[in-house]
Amino acid sequence: MSWANKSIIEEFVLLGFSDQPWLKFPLFLVFLTSYIVTIFGNLSIILVSRLDPKLCTPMYFFLTNLSVIDLCYIICAVPQMLINLCSVRKVISFGGCVVQLFMFLTLGATKCVLLPVMSFDRFVAICRPLHYSIIIHQRLCLQLAAVSWIIDFGNSAWLYILTLQLPCCGHYVIDHFLCEVPALLKLSCADITANEAELFFGSVVFHLTPLTLIFISYAFIARAILKIQSAEGRQKAFGTCGSHLIVVTLFYGTAVSMYLLPPSPHSKNKRKMVSLFYGIIAPMLNPLIYTLRNKEVKEALKRLIKRLFLSKN
């Protein structure tokens, strides 16, 4: 069977962690909690960033883009996972799998480019504060965001087409809880060497290259922060950059181990847990990291809640 001929197979079986049934209830609680927290947290960041005049800055514009990515990711993944955990037949339709595959490729790649853009914004803000408004203007922000989405859409479409062109030969059981490229490649009975090479090359470009740029940016940022005379100024700068570094570590650390490290014979469930972490847990933690560690966001949330409360009264 080829992916293009969907008349033979209308749905796929997602094994998930079916070999460990004791994980069913804990995973359901984790997925449901992450779904609620992620939606509420990212919607809150989007609202305060757009409605509060004090947060209408480039930093929060990029943070809004990150929240949109995490929101779309969780909406695309978690409902199907919750349904399968409560069902005897753990399946996903052919169309649903195709949509999920493309969404994960596009959103993941866009996030890989957006995070170094955010580090560049912090670099200019701390290392070139007097020129910040001249360098990071509204037009540049829109251009950087648009380029991130367009480049990643093109790369994702290429991987997407390469994956869908492979013959499946009647295989329909996916040893994963998501329709991701590494799991789908295992369904093919054809030679997937070229696909694996393309996936590895794409992972190097979209994981290691942005990560290197982020490290370079923060090397300059750390040197600039240490030169700040005011202890309060250093603390504020470290607080703002610390939130971004935590998000970077969570995302790239798990993504690199998933796509760039060679799989071992006993790493099947481990790789599933890694995928679960960067795909489900990380989007839940991102808004918590940015709100709990960011005084401006917390104050903006208080103002928004107060405004809503007063409007109701």
> What whole-number distance in Å separates Cα of residue 156 and Cα of residue 148?
12
Question: What is the tally of structural domains in the chain?
Answer: 1
Neighbours of 246 (CB within 10 A): 15
Residue 3 lies in a domain: no
Residue 1 lies in a domain: no
> What whole-number distance in Å separates Cα of residue 95 and Cα of residue 10?
8
Residue 68 lies in a domain: yes
Residue 275 lies in a domain: yes
Residues 6+ apart with CB under 8 A from 131: 124
Closest CA to 284 of 251, 307, 259: 251
pLDDT computed for residue 110 by the predictor: 85
Where b means 16+ CB within 10 Å and e means fewer, 273-295 reads: ebbbbbbbbbbbbbbebbbeebe
Task: Look up residue 94 and give its amino acid.
Answer: F
pLDDT computed for residue 6 by the predictor: 46
List phi, psi (to 5°) of 200.
-65, -45
Q: How far apart are the first and last CA of the chain?
A: 62
Contacts by residues 82-85 (CB-CB < 8 Å, ≥ 24 positions apart): 82/28, 82/31, 82/32, 82/35, 84/14, 84/16, 84/177, 85/16, 85/24, 85/27, 85/28, 85/31
Query: Block means of pLDDT (10 residues each) for the chain, length 313 residues?
Result: 52 78 82 88 86 83 89 87 83 84 83 88 87 88 85 72 72 80 80 80 82 88 80 70 78 77 63 77 80 74 75 62
Distances (CA, A) of 19 to 88, 267, 268, 269, 280: 13, 14, 11, 10, 21
Residue with tokens 């609620």: 36
Answer yes or no: are the C-beta atoms of 80 and 58 closer than 8 Å: no
pLDDT computed for residue 4 by the predictor: 47
Residue 5 lies in a domain: no
CATH number of residue 203's parent domain: 1.20.1070.10
Residue 2 lies in a domain: no
Task: Look up residue 5 and give its amino acid.
Answer: N
Owning domain of residue 130: 11-312
Rama region for 176: left / alpha / beta (φ>0; ψ in -120 to 50; rest): beta
Residue 180 lies in a domain: yes
Closest CA to 284 of 109, 131, 74, 87: 74
pLDDT computed for residue 1 by the predictor: 42
Residue 6 lies in a domain: no
